[in-house]
């Protein structure tokens, strides 16, 4: 069967919910206004803002209230400690494996943090491998990271599917390689005119089920 490449954050796991929980805990611990949650989440931009920029902005804002070590701990471990894998996602991955699919995670981010999420949720037992941008020196949508993912599990890239929530990183990356893709919308509307996913799904479990059905 073709290769199934899956994004991690806000696709396989709800990274934003985990990070929001971690930020809320930090604000509560240091008696800061809960309205600051919106400021931090906007600053973080679903993890797309560089870590050093988030750290610098938070350190400047909270220099009299929060130790720098607490801010760095939040950014290093906060989301990783709180992410969960839903039962529906676990069942969909089990179904894909039973159907003979080779599943590999392709994620941007720092190796230590992303591997912590993968192992904490048990995803390491449900996929055949993973590649992380920091480790391979390339990030989505660059084609090299997708080639690295295929090489990691020893499966040809030809005919692969890509599932992810980022139009730019996941869907544009797949399109550039001529791969089929499913955009995990998480309730959002598609807003790109220059390219389109093969299919749109509300969540990753539905996306995996669609791929399995499409190839039968």
Reported as a single tens digit per residue, the pLDDT across 49-99 is: 999 999 999 999 999 999 999 999 999 998 999 999 999 999 999 999 999
Q: How far apart are CA 40 and CA 57, in angstroms?
A: 9
In the prediction, which pLDDT does 209 show?
97
Q: Which helix (H) or strand (E) holds 214?
A: helix 204-215
Nearest partner of 151 among 106, 197, 182, 95, judged by Cα:
106
| Angle at the Cα of 160 from the Cα atoms of 158 and 163, rounded to 5 degrees | 155
205 in Cβ contact with 93 (< 8 Å): no
Q: Which two three-digit tokens encode residue 201?
A: 């799904």
In the prediction, which pLDDT does 78 show?
87
132-184 pLDDT tens trace: 999 999 999 999 999 999 999 999 999 999 999 999 999 999 999 999 999 99
In the prediction, which pLDDT does 215 show?
84
Residue 216, pLDDT > 80, answer no
Task: Tell me how crowded residue 57 is: count the other CB atoms within 10 A of its CB.
Answer: 16
181: exposed, middle or buried (C-beta count within 10 Å: 0-12, 13-18, 19+)?
buried
Share of the chain above pLDDT 70, in %: 100
From residue 87, how far is each of 6, 92, 161, 166, 203 by CA, in Å? 17, 9, 22, 23, 12
20 in Cβ contact with 41 (< 8 Å): yes
- Read off the pLDDT of each residue in 19-42 and give the average, rounded to a whole number: 97
Residue 1, pLDDT > 90, answer no
Task: For 93-126, give the DSSP string.
Answer: HHHHHHTT-EEEEEE-S-HHHHHHHHHHTTGGGT
Q: Which two three-digit tokens encode residue 65?
A: 């209230």
Q: How far apart are CA 96 and CA 126, in angstroms?
A: 10
């Amino acid at each position: 069967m073709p290769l199934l490449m899956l994004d991690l954050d806000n696709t396989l796991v709800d990274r934003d919910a985990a990070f929001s929980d971690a930020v809320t805990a930090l604000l509560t611990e240091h008696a800061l206004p809960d309205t600051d949650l919106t400021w931090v989440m906007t600053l973080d931009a679903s993890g797309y803002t560089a870590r050093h920029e988030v750290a610098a902005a938070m350190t400047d804002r909270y220099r009299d209230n929060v130790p720098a070590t607490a801010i760095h701990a939040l950014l290093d471990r906060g989301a990783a400690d709180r992410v969960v894998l839903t039962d529906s996602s676990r069942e969909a991955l089990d179904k894909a494996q039973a159907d003979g699919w080779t599943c590999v995670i392709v994620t941007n981010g720092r190796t230590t943090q992303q591997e912590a999420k993968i192992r904490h949720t048990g995803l390491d037992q449900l996929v055949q491998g993973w590649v992380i941008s920091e480790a391979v020196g390339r990030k989505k949508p660059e084609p090299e990271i997708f080639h690295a993912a295929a090489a990691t599990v020893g499966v040809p890239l030809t005919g692969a599917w890509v599932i992810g929530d980022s139009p730019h990183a996941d869907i544009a990356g797949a399109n550039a390689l001529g791969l089929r893709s499913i955009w995990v919308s998480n309730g959002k509307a598609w807003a790109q005119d220059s390219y389109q996913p093969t299919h749109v799904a509300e969540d990753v479990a539905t996306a995996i089920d669609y791929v399995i059905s499409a190839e039968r």
